[in-house]
Structure 1
Amino acid sequence: MNAISATFADSATMMRRNFRHTMRNPLALFNAIIVPVFVMFLMVYVFGGSFSVGTDYVDYATPGLIILTIGYGIGPRPPR
């Protein structure tokens, strides 16, 4: 097994473990799925008409909301 395939195998293992952990914690699942969708809806459909950015506001807001979601995902962790 070369280094690249070992990296992908290790990444798949860690992703599977994190997915199981998230499925056992409903609040984490809620924060990971529902909150970003709600924030996207709020920004695009509620506040989107009040900004003039020269393009569709959803195209303008999506990168920032993805970064925000990543920040929430790596944020607070319980102590070990």
Structure 2
Amino acid sequence: MLAKVKPQVFLDSLDIELKQQTSVPVTATLRDEKGSICRSAAYQSSPDKAFTLTGLNDLPYGVYSLELSNGDAQLHVRLIKRV
């Protein structure tokens, strides 16, 4: 597993904790139920191996999928945005 995503039910941000530090940037892509990209960002690994995907409060409630990749590893997580 590439990372741990907290929480599975979110309001306005997602905390992502990498399992190990990597020299390759981690790409985070948040998609809605239809597969459209809602947010996309690349993060360089920091010493604490964590980053936060913010600014999600304007998204409508529903089911989303978060795709994390760093070149050789990928992770897909199903998330729920609540009101």
TM-score tier (shorter): under 0.3
Q: Which has the higher contact order (CA 8 A, sep 6+)?
A: 2
Q: Which has the higher helix share?
A: 1
Superposition TM-score, scaled by structure 1 size: 0.22
In proportion to residue count, which structure has more strand? 2
Q: Tell which structure's C-alpha radius of gyration is larger.
A: 1
| TM-score normalised by the chain length of structure 2 | 0.21
